[in-house]
Structure 1
Amino acid sequence: MKRRKFLKNSSLSTAGIFSASLLASCETDKKPQVVNKMIKPIVIATWDVLNATNKAWQVLNNAGTALDAVEQGVMIEEADINNQSVGKGGRPDRDGNVTLDACIMDKDSNCGAVLYLKNIVHPISVARKVMEETPHVMLAGKGAELFAYQKGFKKENLLTEKSKAEWLEWKKTSKYQPVINIENHDTIGMLAIDSKGDIAGACTTSGMAYKIGGRVGDSPIIGAGLFVDNEVGGATATGVGEEVVRTVGSFLIVELMRQGKTPQEACEEGVKRIISKNNEKLDFQIGFIAINKKGETGGYCIQPGFTYRVYSEQGHINKTASSYISS
């Protein structure tokens, strides 16, 4: 046998032996999947959004999916004109335009997002359409708006009289430049576990009040404003989006939970990572919430007063997140 032919035949024989041995090993080591029957449906959301978590819990309690729960839950806030940081009635940019950002992520790591979307009340539902009906993850601006119309969403003026009046008043006294308004960062992020133990998340906002036209924060950015890994858990953020983007905050928190930290420990580390990047300067607001596969939750923030709502079989609980206190 020629040397080249010998080596080829030897390689094939060896590969065949290895493959057979590997297959046998896999069959031998295969164990039945253990389902954790202790997992119960639960929903958690940033801020005190009782109506939103109520709606999400109704979906979960009727054996609905976590994905449906988070979408329908945050839609409540998008349609609430009294919530001036999400959806219709949101505070406009410096030019008077209400622009919305949102993203959604399911148990299989599918995700969709819309950025700088105008004239559509429910950006979260458009984001879900992007996820389920396009090969893309993100659509922005005019493209996102046209896509929404093609999918049957109706055009609607999002600037309410109240938000318009406040914007006009702001223009009188401001220097007409970007301002960090820590009171205006009430983004709603929501995470849920359904009866099958699957996790999904959603995040939606009208962004920073009186921002430069075109500005986009962390809320529609997968990994920053929201991240879900069905094997581990999920996290979502609220606050100054620029700071969350810099550390890919939600992804960081999920990875910390993968390494063994509890949701609370992971949220605290996520906030402290941002603080370290700012040399302890705390003139902005950042908050994270997280949930793991066991249904454990956590929340942490830079400024005090950040609350988050948990809804489970035990009913709803309004929690005040522990906060970082500078020495």
Structure 2
Amino acid sequence: MINRRRFLSVSSLAGLFPTLSFKTVSPTPNEAPAGGPLVISTWKQPKANAAAQAALDRGGSALDAVEAGVRIPEADPEDMSVGYGGRPDRDGRVTLDACIMDEKGNAGSVVFLEHIMHPISVARAVMEKTPHVMLAGEGAYRFALSQGFKKENLLTAKTEKEWREWLKTAKYKPIANIERHDTIGMLSIDAQGNISGACTTSGLAYKMNGRVGDSPIIGAGLFVDNEIGGACATGLGELVMRTCGSFLVVELMRQGRTPQQACEEAALRIVKKQDYKDIQVGFVAVNKKGETGAFSIQPGFNYTITQDKQTKVIDAPSYLK
């Protein structure tokens, strides 16, 4: 407890200082206003970003925004790398992976989920309604049904036709940028300055049955630290998993790198260890200030950013020119 003499001493010191005035500092061009809002996603996703921005405009959290945003390609049969209409594995089964992470470090994930159009919402339910981070396969499917999700046929006539054509040769080789690399990753900063992220995919086309990539793995396809920033990865997931890619980007930002520098260094970690000429990996990142970055191994990777109600699709710089 402060005594009377101490109180008078502190009071007299306070009187020595005039009233402080603060100058408002305008953000730099690549910096969000204090507390956001901002949405950034992998690849050309203006509709997804619009849905995320609409959630923010309604007063929703960054978590609400990223879930609403990635649900758009999940439900789009023309987006054949995510959700409904996604290309199947080599057995003709559409299997989905997704994860979500909030500003408190909570996370939820589903892997090898079949028959459910919105795996990102199931992942959020795992995060909020179970003691676990990840559910897989039949267990994830049964949990989804218990939460009111409906069983649906995700294999469209178009993707089934493509798959049957593929069966004639059954050759498997991922080609850089052709599949749009099986992922949408999205990060958002809300009006309170909180950061959340989401990542969802149907995986590589004609993969081995049971294959899971980086997209639902916390620290690989997605990582968020609300004190620092967030990152998402896209591309050949095996390479991202081996380097804990998104976690690496965030940790590099913690060490003082800008989001751009962090994305570049994470990509170079892969280049140094792999034959990179025929593979693609790309990263996007945002820090607490709202500064963003993106980088890929191959040219052809782009990302979508919504900031100050303006949406732009930007070609990311790349290691190979």
TM class, shorter-length: 0.7 to 0.9
What is the Cα deviation at residue 318 of structure 1?
1.0
**What corresponds to 1:70 in structure 2?**
66
After superposition, residues 212-251 of structure 1 pair within 5 angstroms as 212-251=208-247
Matches of 1:282 and 1:227, distance apart in 2: 27
- AA aligned to 1:180 is P
User: Which letter maps to 1:292?
Assistant: N
Give the distance between the partners of 1:69 and 1:208, measured in 2 at CA. Answer: 26
Letter in 1 for 2:270: I
Q: Return 5+ residue gaps in structure 2 as ranges.
A: 1-24, 26-32
Contact 2:182/2:202 (CA < 8 Å) preserved in 1? Answer: no
Q: State TM-score, norm by structure 2.
A: 0.88
Aligned-partner residue type, residue 81 of structure 2: S
2:122 maps to what in 1?
126
Q: Work out the number of aligned pairs and report it.
A: 288
For 2:280, the equivalent position in structure 1 comes to: 285
Partner of 1:31: none
Query: Residue 181 of structure 1 contacts residue 209 of structure 1 at CA under 8 Å; is this kept in 2?
Result: no
Question: For residues 103 and 297 of structure 1, what CA distance do their matches in structure 2 show?
Answer: 21
Answer yes or no: is the 8 Å Cα contact 1:77–1:83 preserved in 2: yes
CA distance in 2, matches of 1:105, 1:219: 12
More helix by share: 1
How much has 1:150 moved relative to structure 2?
0.5
Residue in structure 1 matched with residue 46 of structure 2 by the alignment: 50
Q: Which structure would you say has the larger Rg? A: 1
Q: Aligned with 1:253: secondary structure?
A: helix
The amino acid that maps onto 1:58 is A
| Cα drift, residue 269 of structure 1 | 0.3
Alignment partner of 1:277: what SS?
coil
Aligned to 1:256: 252
After superposing the two structures, state which structure 1 stretch, 312-321 or 241-250, moved more: 312-321
Structure 1: gaps spanning 5 or more residues: 1-35
Any conservation in 1 of the 2:276–2:297 contact (CA below 8 Å)?
A: no
Q: Residues of 2 paired with 1:165 and 1:58: CA distance?
A: 36
Q: 1:145 aligns with which of 128, 132, 141?
A: 141
CA contact (8 A) 2:35 2:194 kept: no
Q: For 1:317, which of 297, 312, 315 is the aligned residue?
A: 312
The reply on whether 1:180 has 2:174 as its aligned counterpart is yes
Residue 283 of structure 1 and its aligned partner are, at CA, apart by 1.1
Q: CA deviation at 1:303?
A: 1.0
Partner of 1:99 in structure 2? 95
Q: CA RMSD in A?
A: 1.2
Amino acid at match of 1:266: A
Q: CA deviation at 1:314?
A: 4.7
> After superposition, what is the alpha-carbon deviation per residue over 1:160-195, rounded to whole angstroms, capped at 9, x for unaligned?
0000000000111234xx432432214100000000
